Amino acid sequence: MKTWKLIVHGRVQAVGYRQSVVNFVRSYSSPIFGYAKNLRDGTVEVLATGEENALEDLVKSCYKGSIISKVTNIDIYKDAENNNHLDDFKIEY
């Protein structure tokens, strides 16, 4: 399993973006663990652990976002560390 950290830029706060990420992960056929959280600079951080093809599909979903979000760019940091040892995917506050 791999861990990637995504920093999502654009109109991604207060538009249901994090929930759209959670909805994708929970409906996906392979397990993905991690979280989505708002950052102070207006971006959203997504930390995800899963198989590489699942993480690639997650990135595609993150570009789509919610109905009213507008993603302009995603910074992808592969081989990130996941020290949280999460066994679910959730919204962090």
| Residue that has been written with the tokens 């595609």 in this structure | 60
Q: What is the pLDDT of residue 79?
A: 83
Positions annotated as catalytic residues are 18, 38
pTM value is: 0.93
Q: Please give the average per-residue pLDDT across 72-90, as a whole number.
A: 85
CA atoms of 79 and 2, how far apart (whole Å)? 6
- Give just the sign of the alpha carbon dihedral 62, 63, 69, 74: positive
Q: What is the pLDDT of residue 85?
A: 66
Would you mind telling me the total number of residues written for the chain in this entry?
A: 93
Instruction: Identify which of 10, 8, 14 has the alpha carbon closest to the alpha carbon of residue 36.
Output: 8
Cβ contact 1:82 at 8 Å:
no
Per residue in 6-53, pLDDT (tens digit) is: 999 999 999 999 999 999 999 999 999 999 999 999 999 999 999 999
Q: Please give the average per-residue pLDDT across 68-83, as a whole number.
A: 90
> Phi-psi region for residue 16, left (φ > 0), alpha (ψ -120 to 50) or beta?
left
